[in-house]
Homo-oligomer: A and B are copies of this chain.
Amino acid sequence: MSLTIKSHFAYPTYLSFTTKPSRFTGYNTKIRPNSIYHFNPLKLTYYQPKKMQAPVQYSPAPVIKSSLIEPDGGALVDLVVPEGERGAKTIEAESLPKVRLTKIDVEWVHVISEGWANPLKGFMREDEYLQSLHFNSLRLKDGSIVNMSLPIVLAIDDETKERIGSSSHVGLAGPDGDLIAILRSIEIYKHNKEERIARTWGTTAPGLPYVEEVIIPAGNCLIGGDLEVLKPVKYNDGLDHYRLSPKQLRKEFDRRNADAVFAFQLRNPVHNGHALLMNDTRRRLLEMGFKNPILLLHPLGGFTKADDVPLDVRMEQHSKVFPIIPSV
């Protein structure tokens, strides 16, 4: 079982783009991909419902607007401090004990800060960590339960713990030393790696990349708290304009008057199997009575398998197959 299959959100989130419905209609193309892709030429066909066939009747008819689907736990989390407060918060962050993040830690800051892990407002404290490990869920204050099948935690080593001392807050610095966030009302607790691995993957066998490259080398403590991110996380790799936040995506769905959104998350170049699934889903939504279903194609970046096609190459392929709307 891979981490991405178990996760219910875009694990290291990198990119979101949507097809333009006006051009998607009747869309039919062939491309001959470079040999790097290892799959057959694509043929995306758009399903045309038979005019003579009575549409399947569902009762009651679904009335769904994309903007009406609430984020898990209610309000969408947005942990980036307003621009006006950035200066003061940065000065405060500089005065605090520092925790140096890895590249992957920064990706998790990105995930949390934009609400991809709603309703999480920071790296997990122990009560959230244990709920995630044991129940794959979080129980909210109102008694409702949301899926949270992966612990989202920040590991620190003993030396960092020592340096933090009795401070209630810490500054988080990126791999290059730049301050990127404040973690408030912190809680430091034991990083029981074996239990985390066993409960997350259901095995402790060697060979799990995330285990061997991220968890095993990590520190023996976890630090949880509330996150305040000094500015939006960017990667400066020429792909940031594809990385829409949930807030931006919701706005885009509304702008297009989507009455349904169907998402397709993938770690590979698009191939015929994907195309079949996407077309079939769209067909079913139209048959159910939706008028304007919108596809959210959601390629995974960040921590993918070592032999996966690199993100920039995949993006190039996607851009040839789909008409892309880079919205920011």
Q: Which of B137, B198, B201 contacts A203 (CB 8 A)?
A: B198
Q: Which residue of B lies closest to A196 (CB)?
A: B202
Q: Which residue of B lies closest to A133 (CB)?
A: B202
A136 CA / B137 CA spacing, docked (Å): 10
Give the chain B neighbours of A202 by CB distance below 8 A: 133, 192, 194-195, 198-199
A134 at the interface (CB under 8 A from B): yes
A198 CA / B202 CA spacing, docked (Å): 5
Residue-wise interface mask of A (189-212) relative to B, using a CB-CB cutoff of 8 A (1 in contact, 0 not):
000101100110111110000000
Residue-wise interface mask of A (160-200) relative to B, using a CB-CB cutoff of 8 A (1 in contact, 0 not):
00000000000000000000000000000000101100110
Query: Most chain-B CB neighbours within 10 Å: which of A145, A194, A195, A198?
Result: A198
**A147 shortest CB reach to chain B, Å:** 9
Q: Which of B136, B192, B198, B203 contacts A135 (CB 8 A)?
A: B136
Q: Which residue of B lies closest to A192 (CB)?
A: B202
A136 CA / B149 CA spacing, docked (Å): 12
A194 CA / B204 CA spacing, docked (Å): 9
A204 CA / B197 CA spacing, docked (Å): 10
Give the chain B neighbours of A195 by CB distance below 8 A: 202-203
Give the chain B neighbours of A203 by CB distance below 8 A: 194-195, 198, 204
A203 CA / B199 CA spacing, docked (Å): 8
A133 CA / B202 CA spacing, docked (Å): 9
**A142 shortest CB reach to chain B, Å:** 14
A205 CA / B204 CA spacing, docked (Å): 9
**A296 shortest CB reach to chain B, Å:** 26
Query: Most chain-B CB neighbours within 10 Å: which of A135, A136, A195, A202?
Result: A202
Give the chain B neighbours of A149 by CB distance below 8 A: 134
Q: Which residue of B lies closest to A134 (CB)?
A: B136
Give the chain B neighbours of A137 by CB distance below 8 A: 135
Give the chain B neighbours of A134 by CB distance below 8 A: 136, 149
Question: What are 20 pairs between A and B in contact, CB < 8 Å?
Answer: A133-B202, A134-B136, A134-B149, A135-B135, A135-B136, A135-B137, A145-B145, A192-B202, A194-B205, A195-B202, A195-B203, A198-B199, A198-B201, A198-B202, A198-B203, A198-B204, A199-B199, A199-B202, A203-B204, A204-B204
6 additional A-B pairs beyond A194-B202, A194-B203, A198-B198, beta carbons within 8 Å, are: A133-B202, A134-B136, A145-B145, A194-B205, A198-B199, A203-B204
